[in-house]
Amino acid sequence: GTAAGKDTLYRDLGGEQGIDRLVETFIRKVGRDERILPYFARASVSHFREGFTTHLCQVSGGPCTYDGDSMPDIHTGMQIDEADFNRVVELLVEAMEDNGIAYPVQNRLLARLAPLRGEIIHI
């Protein structure tokens, strides 16, 4: 797509405020999820919040540059499987629903995250 087309996803997610709210909701859901929470046992929530927010901002075409570690570098050794990945995506979808993000917008974000699967699972 065009640069303009890319920029609209960031806007349609509600921009900086919308993404901040989305990440906050997502983090709360991770905190209540028996399957996913253990992965974060030794993680810093504030560091994760910062990195995940900036990454989402960049992926959605917003005015951010994610300069954290690469997806493989972060997730290597965690032994994340398909079901874990799907669960995290599900929590993100629930968080988007809670924040009133329309289905087509949800799907546009998911389409940009799906290609990262191979950098996150079984590595």
Residues in contact with ligand HEM by CB under 6 A are 36, 39-40, 43-44, 47-48, 51-52, 55, 68-69, 74-75, 78, 80, 84-85, 88, 113, 116, 120
- Rank residues 8 and 58 by Cβ distance to ligand HEM and give the closer one: 58
Q: Residue 27: which of 2, 52, 4, 7 has the closest Cα?
A: 52
75 annotated binding-site participant = yes
- Rank residues 14 and 36 by Cβ distance to ligand HEM and give the closer one: 36
State the amino acid at position 123 in one-letter form: I
In angstroms, what is the minimal distance from the CB of 121 to ligand HEM? 7
CA distance 5 to 31: 34
In angstroms, what is the minimal distance from the CB of 107 to ligand HEM? 14
CA distance 4 to 23: 24
Instruction: State the SS3 of 84-95.
Output: HHHHHHHHHHHH
Instruction: Assess contact for 120 and 85: CB atoms under 8 A.
Output: yes
* Residue with the CB atom nearest ligand HEM in the bound state: 51
In angstroms, what is the minimal distance from the CB of 83 to ligand HEM? 9
Annotated binding residues for heme: 75
Annotated binding residues: 75
